Amino acid sequence: MSKGFSGVDFENKMAGHGNRLIVRSALVLSIIAVVLVFMIVLTVLSSNNLMNIESTQVSNVPSNILPSYSTCSFESFDKQTTLSGWFFKCEDPITTIIVVHNSGSNRLPFGVNMIDLIETWLNNDYNVFMFDLRNSGDSEGDITGYGYLEWNDVLGAISQVKSISVTTDVVLYGIGTGTTACIMAYDQLPPANLTEAELNSYPQDILDLGLNQSYIKGMIFDSPAKNSDDYISPAVRQNEFLGSLTANFVPYAIRVSTGISDSVNLAAEISRLPVPVCIIYGGHDTYIGAEKITQIVDERNRLNSGITVSQMIPGAGYLESFNVGKDVYIDTIMQYMTTFFIKG
């Protein structure tokens, strides 16, 4: 009689095989679940670290070397944050330049060296408004939003300038993440010449500002990124534990925390802005990527070359252009200002 497997033996073998498969599958799924939970926790911790950076205080500048100014205290557009700033005015101003600093900085983004730029502006008949974004300098606020919250501060600053300056328009000067804040603030305002029916689609608090996009006559950008998230991902990679794994998730977590659903395609927005634009960046910028900023400049020139000024500062890294090439930096901005903003 030949030996072989009985039906019962075969069924037992198959049952054992099935049980082992279930156990292995459960083990794999458990590992995946643990990894996902770990990544979520790491992402949340990293986003909290980045949003809760310590406020950077304004440099102690001797009053005798600062041009005459008045201090300002005003509300952000969201009415939840009181901001602090300086207003420098000249005799017969052409326009007012509003400086919007990078996250982790303050109203003097280049320290006391920036006084040279302020004096140059004033000597050429441009008012200057410098202020601390939320969680910066002397302003209130506990968290930093990398532009996703600070657009409220920019609208507050524009409204404040409108109330205290005799000029009828402003030029926004965004530095680093200040670029995101400026673009988002601009996008919140209605375009000029909308019908009453079209204006009714805008929130009442925006309409109450009494402003539209035509009030912003120009924009200056120092180190603009292609996407608003691009300011956050490098910080995660450089400063956070296992940042290379969470670099693409933390920006989303920060946006969710600020109530913003989508990132901003800054490259597309900048290239299409209907106002004069000035772009300055460092040739050795490895944070945003000098080659990526060059692409923004090229696209801007392709679409709006007649109202575009740009300058790459050789040897400068991210946000180092002013300190590395101060004279060229100031000359570039003044070329832009005196080309597009002159007395009529």
Q: Using one digit for the tens of pLDDT, what is the confidence trace for 285-299? A: 999 999 999 999 999
What is the chain's mean pLDDT, rounded? 93
Chain segment 107-135, per-residue pLDDT in tens: 999 999 999 999 999 999 999 999 999 99
Residue-wise pLDDT for 70-97, tens only, equals: 999 999 999 999 999 999 999 999 999 9
Confidence of residue 164 (pLDDT cuts 50, 70, 90): very high
Tell me how many degrees the CA angle 312-315-317 measures, rounded to the nearest 5. Answer: 80
| Band of residue 208 on the pLDDT scale cut at 50, 70, 90 | very high
The per-residue pLDDT for range 215-261, each reduced to its tens digit, is 999 999 999 999 999 999 999 999 999 999 999 999 999 999 999 99
For 57-68, what is each residue's pLDDT tens digit? 887 887 778 999
Question: Regarding predicted confidence, which is higher, 189 or 35?
Answer: 189
Query: Burial of 306 by CB count in 10 Å (0-12 exposed, 13-18 middle, 19+ buried)?
Result: exposed
* Residue pointed to by tokens 């109450």: 208
Q: Percentage of the chain with pLDDT > 70?
A: 95
- What is the pLDDT confidence band of residue 16, given thresholds at 50, 70 and 90? low
- What are the distances in angstroms from CA 125 to CA 100, 119, 129, 133, 162? 20, 10, 13, 25, 17
Neighbours of 79 (CB within 10 A): 10
pLDDT of residue 17: 61
Q: How confident is the model at residue 30, as a pLDDT? A: 83
CA distance 290 to 283: 6
Contacts 24+ apart (CB under 8 A), 108-112: 108/58, 108/59, 108/61, 109/175, 109/319, 110/322, 110/323, 111/59, 112/59, 112/61, 112/65
Whether residue 1 is predicted with pLDDT greater than 50 in this model: the reply is no
